[in-house]
Amino acid sequence: MLPYASNKSTSWEVKARGHKCTETDEPFEEKEFLMSRLMSGAEGMVREDYKLSAWDKDKQAEALFYWKTQYRLPPVKKEAAFKEENAEEILRQMVEEKDESSVNVVFLLAVMLERKRILIERGVQRDAEGRQIRIYEHKESGETFLIPDPELSLDQIEEVQQEIALKLGWIKAEVVPVNILFLCTGNSCRSQMAEGWAKHLKAESLQAFSAGIEKHGLNPNAVKVMAEAGVDITAQSSQHIDEFKEVPLDVVVTVCDRAHESCPVFPEDCKVVHVSFDDPPTLAKALAESGGDEEAQLAIYRRVRDEIREFVEGLPGSLEA
């Protein structure tokens, strides 16, 4: 056959099966055999469906491609026949998007659905650019899927299969945790809270540490308010920044102004971010001196705790800004 006049963006698409004869306008009946053909139009392939009584040699000769099929009523929406039901859904979405970078994935998804007997290959046609277009018919809906064949080599298939497995959720992408250090003055409160939240909320994406430019010990009120929020930081300890000279850090977050001003020089590949939070011990002490009770003082710790949580929840994405 001659290639049909079309560009790449219209070479792959889904063509719905008609429910009545193109020539006579008579509706098809359930399980009735009919003839389908593809014609070359200004916008790409055009599908037409005919009753056997309306089919003749002239229509056959004019066809770009034709086949005999059986009409079935549109299927009732039901659970897919196999657990990889996302395969068909993703295939339809990608065909609609016509993203040339997805051609390999689209083709292997179609092959997968063919092996599951959801799609039936009806033939092969070449488009105007000479690329093979495989013609598949959906077993139940009768839709025609025009799928480019990228003619993959064996060494390319495994990589594409990995990409499909990720899209279908069969495997999870390997996440390399970001080594992040929260730095404050004495590593007693704010940086300890940040480390605790990072370990509690972002264990898969962050390897969290905390340190201070001095060591003041773990603040008991910080421990208390974190426990109220369901995070136990009693196993954490106050550490000096010098203890991390040999740790390959990706990010250092200074959580107080003094630590930021005294922050040591880190390697060029380590990003330093400054996010200043109020110092609960200092504010609580001032409040106590003015007559504030213990509950009012703890309220300061809770406010800063929640502000730090909000910041950590945005990690590591917010670090790209």
CA distance 109 to 118: 11
Q: Which of 150, 218, 160 is nearest to 184 (CA)?
A: 218
**Other CB atoms within 10 Å distance of the CB of residue 176:** 9
Element (H, E) at 181: strand 178-184
pLDDT for residue 3 is more than 80: no
Q: State whether 163 and 184 are in the same domain.
A: no
Rounded to two decimals, the pTM is 0.51
CB within 8 Å of 13: residues ≥ 6 apart: 44, 45, 95, 96, 98, 145, 146
CATH of the domain at 310: 3.40.50.2300
Residues 183 and 300 in one domain: yes
> Which residues are bridge partners to 80 per DSSP?
none
Q: pLDDT (tens digit, 9 = 90+) per residue, 296-318?
A: 999 999 999 999 999 999 998 88
Closest Cα to residue 182, out of 80, 264, 92, 253?
A: 253
Active-site residue (options: 21, 184, 189, 270): 184
Residue 2 has pLDDT above 50, yes or no: no
282-295 mean pLDDT? 94
Q: Are strands 119-126 and 132-138 parallel, antiparallel or unpaired?
A: antiparallel
- Note the pLDDT tens digit of each residue in 130-166: 889 999 999 999 999 999 998 888 778 877 887 787 7
Helix (H) or strand (E) holding 164: helix 154-167
What does R_g of the chain's alpha carbons equal in angstroms? 32
Q: How far is CA 292 from the centre of its chain?
A: 49
| Same domain, yes or no: 190 and 132 | no
Which of 113, 135, 167 lies at the terminal end of a domain, its last residue?
Answer: 167
> What is the rounded distance in angstroms from the CA atom of residue 267 to the CA atom of residue 250?
9
Supply the pLDDT for residue 306: 98
One domain, residues 135 and 215: no
pLDDT, average across residues 58-63: 94
Choose the final residue of a domain: 123, 146, 167.
167
pLDDT value at 72 more than 70: yes
Is the pLDDT score of 84 beyond 60? Answer: no
Q: Is residue 3 part of a domain?
A: no
The answer to whether 263 is a known catalytic residue is: yes
**What residue has token string 């996010």?**
275
pLDDT at res. 10? 58
Q: What is the DSSP letter of 136?
A: E
279 vs 186: CA distance, rounded Å:
11
Based on the domain organization, do 289 and 156 belong to the same domain? no
d(CA 189, CA 226): 10
Total domain count for the chain?
2
Q: How far is CA 72 from CA 21, 33, 55, in A?
A: 14, 9, 19
In the predicted model, what is the mean pLDDT of residues 102-115? 88
Is 184 tagged catalytic?
yes
SS3 187: coil
Does 124 reside within a domain? Answer: yes
Is 2 a member of any domain? no
pLDDT one-digit tens code per residue, 185-241: 999 999 999 999 999 999 989 999 999 999 999 999 999 999 999 999 999 999 999
Q: Is 189 a catalytic residue?
A: no
State which residues form the domain around 290: 178-320
Express each pLDDT in 165-195 by its tens digit.
Answer: 777 776 566 668 999 999 999 999 999 999 9
Do both 128 and 249 map to the same domain? no
